[in-house]
Amino acid sequence: MLLDLSEYAKITLGRFNDTISQANTALGIISSEQWDDCSPAHIGRMRQLSVDIMTIDEIVYYRNGRLSCTIWGNTNRAILERAPDHTLPNGVGITLNVESTVSRGGSMVAVSHRGHAVLVKPQRMVDVLLDTHATLGVAMDGGRLVALSGSADPELLAVLTSGPAVGADARHFYASVGGPGFIAFAIAERSAIEGRWREELWLLLPLGGVVSLVLVATVAWFSRHRLSLRSELASAIRNGELVVHYQPIMSLGTGRCVGAEALVRWQQPDGRMIPPDSFIPIAEEFGLIADITDFMIDRVVRDLADMLAIDRSVYVAINIGASDIGSGRFLPVLDRALARWNVAAPHVWLEATERGFVDADAARKTITAARAAGHLVAIDDFGTGYSSLSLLEKLPLDALKIDKAFVDSIGKDAATSIVIPHIIGMAKELSLAIVAEGIETEEQVDYLRKAGVKLGQGWLYAKAMPLGDIIDYYGHNKAGPWDGVPVDALDQADGA
């Protein structure tokens, strides 16, 4: 057991060094690019690095010793840069118990150099998979704790952090290993280890057989289940079991309907509707998403022809999958549908999630072609995935949709509550129309309206509904000529 704990301590020290190394990499990149102005591009670059490097939680910049900006924008909070608790040979400082500017909860470890600081949750530094229960930790020379995965006896910690040690006392087995400036350690309860030895003696062989059988059965069931879902979904597409529902998009200023988002549903023989979250991942995995996109395009454009008979200014947004944004395959399909049903391109908005923009060059080509044809293009669920401000600046987008997770935080003391004003600010800086998703309360509407968000959707107004219902809803709630719809869209629609 002592040999195991020594190995765990070595692995923990390696994990800590790897985390510091990745923070160093981020600092080296951003220092070499000489960012120091807290411009939108500077902030976007910090945010992109915090996404690209998995161990990083946040990057901030101090100007003249005072916090100037974070990955979410400029800040006026009076936070001063502290002297580091430890300095590495390359001049990079490590500071403990630093406040997170996003979560405002829990302390972070800051790795800093020349104004920039990378913030990392201490738990990440000791995030090591174990085959037994143990407490892992890292301390600086001198005994000051950097990270601890659980709780530990202070007297035992004093022994472990004073230098490399291996041993046991009445309650624990323990081991620690040293590195330049730091010590890592592992502690296990004696009672838990001894109990485990007894259990393994009696259970190892029969348990191994049982586990093997369970794993084989689970893999077989899972494989059959996914293949069955694939077959059922392919059949549903062929047999017309997919249906389209429409969720109204509203003007937050007047409460009038200006358009709708088209949402696919899978209707079961018993009438139950399966939501897209349950089958779209299967479609993407097994290459069926293109068939669903083509179905949506044909059905939505056909339905739009009926809607436009009521009002010539209505538009509908269609979600486009990541693979289609990368290839642009859907554009000729959309052109043919528009010609067939005599619908002008500005009446169809296109939405893509952040995954669709991972290949920025391919996405830019598709977006440019779509906009040249007359479509408006929006980034959907912004803030939940890949995108950064620097990426948005490079893409010719028209609108940004704020994800429901951020709208939910309005008026709550949640970590995401301070993010939404920065997202709105970024969209305004880029002259993007803003649509808020998942609105459920008047408090959210008041906040968004005051923040300058003009469009929104959510259950406060209506759930997604079939074609006949959305036509009735729009007829009773339709907007005026300039009510909340971006001017470019109306200009093009009026000329259709």
pLDDT in tens, 75-125: 887 889 999 999 998 899 999 999 876 545 468 999 999 999 999 989 888
pLDDT, mean of residues 155-160: 86
Structural domain spans, the chain: 7-125, 129-192, 240-494
Question: What whole-number distance in Å separates Cα of residue 423 and Cα of residue 382?
Answer: 8
Residue 352 has pLDDT above 60, yes or no: yes
Both tokens of 438, joined, read 């998942």
Give the number of other CB atoms < 10 A from CB of residue 332.
9
Which CATH number is associated with domain 240-494?
A: 3.20.20.450
Q: Which of 399, 424, 381 is nearest to 488 (CA)?
A: 399
pLDDT recorded at residue 139: 92
pLDDT in tens, 433-451: 999 999 999 999 999 999 9
Q: Which of 94, 134, 179 is nearest to 8 (CA)?
A: 134
pTM score, whole prediction: 0.56
pLDDT recorded at residue 345: 94
Buried b / exposed e over 396-418, threshold 16 CB at 10 Å, is: ebbbbbbbbbbbbbbeeebebeb
Question: What whole-number distance in Å separates Cα of residue 334 and Cα of residue 302?
Answer: 11
Which CATH number is associated with domain 7-125?
A: 3.30.450.20
Both tokens of 328, joined, read 């642009």
User: Which one-letter amino acid corresponds to residue 435?
Assistant: V
Q: Which runs of E-coded beta strand occur in 86-233?
A: 86-87, 93-99, 107-113, 116-120, 135-140, 145-148, 165-168, 172-179, 182-189
pLDDT in tens, 316-338: 999 998 889 888 999 999 999 99
Residue 164 has pLDDT above 60, yes or no: yes
Residue 226 has pLDDT above 50, yes or no: no
Return mean pLDDT, the chain: 81
